[in-house]
Structure 1
Amino acid sequence: MARGRLRFGVIVLLFAILRFISSEVSSDNAAILRPRGLGHRLPILLPLFLTSPDSSRILNDSFLRHLQELNRRNPNARMSLYDDLLSNGYYTTRLWIGTPPQEFALIVDTGSTVTYVPCETCEQCGNHQNPRFQPEHSSTYQPLKCNPDCTCDAKEAQCTYERQYAEMSSSSGVLGQDIISFGNQSELTPQRAVFGCENTETGDLYTQHADGIMGLGRGVLSIVDQLVDKEVISDSFSLCYGGMDVGGGAMVLGEISPPSDMVFSYSDPNRSPYYNIELKEIHVAGKPLPLDPKVFDGKHGTVLDSGTTYAYLPAAAFVEFRSAIMNELHGLQRISGPDPNYNDICFSGAGSDASQLSKYFPVVDMVFSNGQRFSLSPENYLFKHTRVRGAYCLGIFQSGKDPTTLLGGIIVRNTLVMYDREHLKIGFWKTNCSELWERLHISGSPAMPSTPIGEDPTTSMAPAMAPSVPSTYASGEVQIGLITFDMSLSMKYSDLKAQITKLSGVIAQELELNISQVHLVSLTPDRNGSLISWAIFPSGSANYFSNSNAMHIISQLVDHHIQLSEPYGNYQIVKWNLQPLVNRTWWQQHYLAVIMGVIAASIIGFSAYGVFFIWRWRRQRMYKPIDAVVAEQELQPIVNE
């Protein structure tokens, strides 16, 4: 399996730019790997507003009041983040492009500039979450015509772009302009912007579930730069990633008021095309690693990249870091990692409650050149072992030959990161990212401001958010043993009965589950067509869902991201329910064992010939499990240009 989602690459070709701006050569950070240690890939999540029991004390109320006041004065694009970093390997947000708007789930990437989505005309694009962009269905779409400042497709007379990334995936297509909308939470009105319409994608870009990339890096095609150039936001944006076992989070395009205790580091745009910080020292349990500060200053320096899953240190720094961590561990046992293809550093004995990790693992401090210090909790450098309960592994690895220090998303979980480009600094503030929107009282769907003069209106915006989830599930106090939901379909009851088996397969495929997990509970006529009750069981021999997986499924259902083709028609999720493991009936918990027992008893009752016939029939139909994963080659985090 791949080591995680890695997105630190190098652009090899010039990309097209607008008529009214100068040409530029930019570096993109977008190598993409699938998450490691997983038997299957999960779909895109809705925002999760899950809280731990003591999370409320983390948030600074005065900061929230300042932020609310600033938002009233200077509207910005407030957006939710979806997915879980280690389950999916990335975070996504939603953008709507065109008139009427077409929805896309895009990976937020501070190391990429251009924003792109698959185009309807794409001859080599994968099967992603949403339908491809259809330019002819948007009344406001305009191709970016050839000009002296762009790479041009002479045949189509249109500007083009091309990206190649470190793990050998690539994206190429044409550039166009259209109205981009930021969702119901945003106070920023829809804006016209340039984006890429893909005609070809390869590698992990082809296989990923997300539709494309939202470029937040430095460069004239960056969505941030375009909004700043239009003077609709200030030159700043912020990301806030959810914590371990929670996921979700928040993003703001535009300025926010920093809390008084936010820690800042200088970020030099002339040093590197990537967002860098001036890391001087790393302390473990209060003790500085015996390193020359120059070790963190190689090539691009210390790069902060939202699109990379883990963190990577130069060899000398990694050896000292690993040794210091291991010297501070007492009462934990060193065990093998979840993937035999990697020599992970893992430990068991810490328990399954992530909030108690600080009792077993030391605090790690990053000290910046200005003397300010940012402390990392264990969740900022550990990931859960996927095969051993209560075990954790280091999420900081040794980088390749490139001396750049690369800090991925794991480092900033439950951290508000402010990219203050105007003042050339990046800020860090520990908080609970997954409940940030709730505490700001904007978790509903407020009406969008009126469309500005000269811009084109959009006819619809983001769907309503998923219902809130009881905190007992969020904190892990109660395990989720069963998911049930009722679906209303416009298809007639008499017609649906013959299609029900096929429909269960479609639902399993859309939710990326095994078909054995999806069970029909009831099917009844309804005034709108048919009403179906479904039950979803944990996979394999598991008795319960992880919190992130269960929320994943519910969010997909509530936000209507199941694509039902003909003849099923339209559907609505009438209600859903999470059943605790303790409340599941004996039959629900042991239905597979009962079924297997009945089958075994039947076989015993057969004649010897019958037994031989069944054995021979099954032997001829042996197949490879559908969730089998082929190990991937490990990729270096950084390559030389």
Structure 2
Amino acid sequence: MAMTQFISIFFLILHLPLFTLSINPNNLLFFPNTRNASRPAMILPLHLSPPDSSISSFNPRRQLQRSESKRHPNARMRLYDDLLINGYYTTRLWIGTPPQRFALIVDTGSTVTYVPCSTCEHCGRHQDPKFQPDLSETYQPVKCTPDCNCDGDTNQCMYDRQYAEMSSSSGVLGEDVVSFGNLSELAPQRAVFGCENDETGDLYSQRADGIMGLGRGDLSIMDQLVDKKVISDSFSLCYGGMDVGGGAMILGGISPPEDMVFTHSDPDRSPYYNINLKEMHVAGKKLQLNPKVFDGKHGTVLDSGTTYAYLPETAFLAFKRAIMKERNSLKQINGPDPNYKDICFTGAGIDVSQLAKSFPVVDMVFENGHKLSLSPENYLFRHSKVRGAYCLGVFSNGRDPTTLLGGIFVRNTLVMYDRENSKIGFWKTNCSELWETLHTSDAPSPLPSNSEVTNLTKAFAPSVAPSASLDNFHQGELQIAQITIAISFNTSYTDMQPYITKLAGFIAHELDVNTSQVRLMNFSSLGNGSLSRWVITPRPYADFFSNTTAMSMISRLSEHHMQLPATFGSYKLLNWNAESSSKRTWWQQYYWVVALAVLLTMLLGGSALGIFLIWKNRQQAEHSYKPVHVAVPEQELQPL
């Protein structure tokens, strides 16, 4: 029977348990929480800029290798820069056999991982389709025990999450195989997760499918993997910078860089990841604060599911005064949203790497005297309406004495959550660049040899022209009628064959096209692996891709940015050809229209052609392009 002990909530930013149910392998731990979405998400323009020269470079082979003492694999997972648009970062997780893909918010303040279920009666429209347990060969419901909240109709354990701003998530618990992507060393593992049957508030309206819980608790994906002894008790997050975004997540241990700054994290203090912050300096000057100001209630908490940073009132006022004093003749302006009294400045320019000339460095000093220096992008966000203007991403936490540090605080910082040794480490680096080097430093498994590829490609894909140079795309604006690609996988033909249809959907998702635009041409074995050839065509009623769109697709494939379930192993782009629409004859482009018209005329008489043209015009109207207003304010998704 579920416990219903409710706790009064005065903490408006951080989340607290409402009730607790605990179990072991046969029991489950529940932490229904509260949260408050008191601020809008950051709505920032996405621009590519040169890496900040102030960010230290690194050698992943030298500094970020897996710890030799643990000998455990780790799961390397790409992060997506949803912080720039939606206020959070997401990663991709695959559940089931065959795998079903989900975009999940990376949340260190949450325990349970959950996704919308096909049985959900009230779930929003999210990035991916709902999870369908009936389509997974390996799904099993978590049956009721005396220790869990039981659904009498299904005899299945339930979970429930409630939040202060009236959003909630509830559903049943299931167990299935979860996969971490084809670039991870960690093999797919069985894990317990939540299958949503109802969601409200921000959870209903958000684009992300669900939550990936990295907090402490039996249902946390971290705790489950550690209990299975498949990874060491550590994970790392690295969030990209203000404009570039992206980043990396590593489940499992890595050897820390020599100059990583560590601070103690007390697991008994609270269920959240806390650090011992003692002082803050602005432009080298210590804020005149009692060190205990950062030790109230839950102390200083890191939460990846929060966008901004929140300080106790006295600390915030001191911080604001220091920033205003050091703003170097910048002009203060109104914020982008009149509903909030944001502190914003103009005059710093649009180049993020030059912000340090206008804004001061902020130092965080820990209990051991170790110091972490923050650049302006760690406490600012771009003004969404004024070019070259910036606003403070640090706010007052009101009457609550907890210090909460969200994603903005750790931009371009590798954060290592060393749970085994109760400490958290920080290392300034370029997080977008980190992912690129991480996934190329160690290949998960060998791909076919060059001789195998050459011999088989000649016989297999005679119609694929030799790969063009990406530089050719820059020679004027081309109209690309179709793209042909040949990809090899290190997974055998026999193992791949049952999932080849699913693969088309994954490729389409990664290249941001519809599944109907990706067509399999050939599929065969290649040594111990397999070889496939695909054609990618423009969307319905569009005659071509732009060269920019085509270049983006080819770059994503050739640079191994395409993330696929571990089922498919690693891949390699062998060959590609982008066919210009100018090379296609009128008959090649429109033969199907003529053929269908002639056929209808022959079968039904002249009136059929008129009916066909009316149908075609209607379809064109339904598929006509409509601009999307991306800068519509959204509620910030607060942590679980």
TM-score over 0.5 for the pair: yes
Structure 2 residue aligned with 1:167, among 165, 188, 193?
165
Task: Give, in whole Å, the separation in 1 of the partners of 2:304 and 2:359.
Answer: 24
Structure 2 CA distance, aligned partners of 1:20 and 1:90?
A: 33
Q: How far is 1:406 from its partner?
A: 0.5
Distance 1:301 1:114, change over 3 A: same
Q: CA deviation at 1:310?
A: 0.3
Q: Contact conserved, 1:163 with 1:170, CA < 8 A, in 2?
A: yes
In the aligned structure 2, how far is the partner of 1:205 from the partner of 1:33?
15
CA distance in 1, matches of 2:405, 2:478: 36
For residues 44 and 414 of structure 2, the distance between their equivalents in structure 1, rounded to whole angstroms, comes to: 31
Inter-partner Cα distance in structure 2 for 1:431 and 1:348:
27
Change (3 A) 1:358 1:631: closer
Q: Does 1:336 align with 2:334?
A: yes
Report the residue type matching 1:10 in the other structure: L
- The answer to whether the aligner puts 1:267 opposite 2:273 as a matched pair is no
User: Is 2:26 the counterpart of 1:26?
Assistant: no
Cα pair 1:482 1:535 within 8 Å, conserved: no
- Structure 1 residues 211 and 33: alpha-carbon distance in aligned structure 2, compared to 1, 3 A threshold: farther
8 Å CA contact retained: 2:306, 2:639: no
Amino acid aligned to 2:31: S
Task: Tell me the distance in 1 between the aligned counterparts of 2:314 and 2:42.
Answer: 27
Say if 2:629 is the partner of 1:627: yes
Distance 1:470 1:53 in 2: 26
Provide the C-alpha distance between the structure 1 equivalents of 2:37 and 2:555, rounded to a whole number of angstroms. 26
Partner in structure 1 of residue 14 of structure 2: 8
- 1:424 equivalent in alignment to 2:430: no
Q: Which amino acid aligns with 2:364?
A: M
- Is 1:223 the equivalent of 2:229? no
1:9/1:28 contact within 8 Å kept: yes
Structure 1 Cα separation of the partners of residues 374 and 52 of structure 2: 20
Tell me the CA shift for residue 219 of structure 1: 0.3
- Displacement of 1:75: 1.0
The 5-angstrom pairing of residues 126-275 of structure 1 reads: 126-275=124-273
- Structure 2 partner of 1:52: 51
* Counterpart code for 1:157: N
Instruction: Return the match for 2:284 from 283, 286, 297.
Output: 286
The structural deviation recorded for 1:131 is 0.9
Partners of 1:155 and 1:267 lie apart in 2 by 42
Contact 1:437-1:443 at 8 Å conserved across structures: no
User: Aligned partners of 2:365 and 2:220: how far apart in 1?
Assistant: 30
Structure 1 residues 248 and 192, CA gap change in structure 2 (3 angstroms): same
Shift of 1:560: 9.0
Which one has a bigger Cα radius of gyration? 2
SS in 1 for 2:440: coil
User: What does residue 515 of structure 1 align with?
Assistant: none
Distance across 1 between alignment mates of 2:252 and 2:155: 35
How many angstroms does 1:263 deviate by?
0.8
Distance 1:484 1:204 in 2: 40
The one-letter code sitting in structure 2 at the alignment partner of 1:302 is T
Does the 8 A contact of 1:104 with 1:211 survive in 2? Answer: yes
Deviations 1:94-124 (A, max 9, x none): 1111111111111110000000011011111
Alignment of 1:228-627 (within 5 A): 228-440=226-438, 442=440, 446-447=444-445, 531-532=537-538, 533-534=543-544, 627=629
Decide whether the 8 Å contact of 2:116 with 2:196 is kept in 1: yes
Q: Deviations over 1:222-275 (max 9, x none)?
A: 000001111111111000000110111001111111111111111111111111
- Equivalent residue number for residue 595 of structure 1: none
Q: Offset of 1:192 from its aligned partner?
A: 0.6
C-alpha change, 1:535 and 1:398, in structure 2 (3 Å) is: farther
Instruction: Map Cα deviations across residues 463-487 of structure 1 (whole Å, 9 max, x no partner).
Output: xxxxxx999xxxxxx9xx9998655
1:91 aligned onto 2:89 = yes
How many residues are paired up?
A: 503
Change (3 A) 1:403 1:231: same
Q: How far off is 1:24 after superposition?
A: 4.0
Paired with 1:448 and 1:149, the residues of 2 have a C-alpha distance of 47
**Paired residues of 2:41 and 2:634 also in contact (CA < 8 A):** no
The one of 99, 102, 118 aligned to 1:101: 99
Superposed displacement of residue 282, structure 1: 0.5
Task: Give the Cα–Cα distance (whole angstroms) in 2 for the partners of residues 482 and 323 of structure 1.
Answer: 51
Q: Which residue of 2 aligns with 1:123?
A: 121
Structure 1 vs Structure 2: percent identity of aligned residues? 62
* Local SS of the residue matching 2:258: coil
- 1:474 corresponding residue in structure 2: none
Offset of residue 306 of structure 1: 0.3
Alignment-mate amino acid for residue 14 of structure 2: F
AA partner of residue 380 (structure 1): N
SS in 2 for 1:67: coil
Which string of whole-angstrom CA distances, capped at 9 and with x for unpartnered residues, describes residues 573-617 of structure 1? 98899xxxxxxxxxxxxxxxxxxxxxxxxxxxxxxxxxxxxxxxx
Q: Partner letter of residue 26 of structure 1?
A: F
Report the 3-state secondary structure (helix = DSSP H, G, I; strand = E; otherwise coil) of the residue aligned with 1:442. helix
Q: Runs of 5+ in structure 2 lacking a partner? A: 1-11, 448-468, 485-507, 514-532, 564-574, 580-625
**Alpha-carbon shift at residue 314 of structure 1 (Å):** 0.8
Q: TM-score, normalised by structure 2?
A: 0.69
Distance 1:194 1:28 in 2: 19
Distance 1:396 1:371, change over 3 A: same
Provide, for residues 543-583 of structure 1, a one-character-per-residue CA deviation record: whole Å limited to 9, x for no partner.
xx9xxxx9899979x9899xxxxxxxxxxx98899xxxxxx
Q: CA deviation at 1:142?
A: 0.5
Aligned residue number for residue 497 of structure 1? none
More displaced 10-residue stretch of structure 1: 431-440 or 197-206: 431-440
Deviates more, 1:112-121 or 1:158-167: 158-167
**How far apart are the structure 1 equivalents of 2:479 and 2:442?**
24
Q: For structure 1, which segment, 162-171 or 214-223, has the greater mean C-alpha deviation from structure 2 after superposition?
A: 162-171
Question: CA offset at residue 638 of structure 1?
Answer: 9.8
Deviation (angstroms), 1:166 = 2.9
The 1:553/1:272 distance shift into structure 2, 3 A limit, reads: farther
User: Is 1:385–1:392's contact at 8 Å kept on the other side of the alignment?
Assistant: yes
SS for the counterpart of 1:393 is strand
Letter paired with 1:52: P
The DSSP-based 3-state class of the residue aligned with 1:214 is: strand
State the shift of 1:65 in Å.
4.7
SS at match of 2:65: helix
Using the TM superposition, give the Cα deviation of residue 511 of structure 1 relative to its aligned residue in structure 2, in angstroms.
7.3
Residues 1:350 and 1:25: Cα distance change in structure 2 (over 3 Å):
same
Question: What secondary structure, in the 3-state scheme, does the structure 1 residue paired with 2:197 have?
Answer: strand
For the aligned residue pairs, the C-alpha RMSD in angstroms reads 4.3
1:435-487 CA-to-partner distances (Å, cap 9, x unmatched) read 113223527974499xxxxxxxxxxxxxxxxxxx999xxxxxx9xx9998655
Please say if residues 39 and 636 of structure 2, whose CA atoms lie closer than 8 Å, have aligned partners that are also in contact.
no
* Superposition TM-score, scaled by structure 1 size: 0.69
Task: Say if 1:324 and 1:529 are closer, same or farther in 2 by CA, change over 3 A.
Answer: closer
TM superposition shift of 1:167: 2.5
Instruction: Supply the AA of the counterpart residue of 2:337.
Output: D
User: Distance in 1 between the 2:576 and 2:337 partners?
Assistant: 40
Other structure's SS at 1:160 match: strand
Distance 1:357 1:223 in 2: 38
* Alpha-carbon separation, structure 2, partners of 1:71 and 1:182: 23
Q: AA paired with 1:266?
A: H
The offset of 1:83, in angstroms, is 2.0
Q: Which secondary structure state, in structure 1, belongs to the residue aligned with residue 384 of structure 2?
A: coil
Please give the alpha-carbon distance, in whole angstroms, between the structure 1 residues aligned to 2:174 and 2:479.
Answer: 43
Between stretches 82-91 and 196-205, larger displacement belongs to 82-91
CA distance in 2, matches of 1:553, 1:387: 33
Q: How big is the shift at 1:88?
A: 2.2
Distance 1:277 1:531, change over 3 A: closer
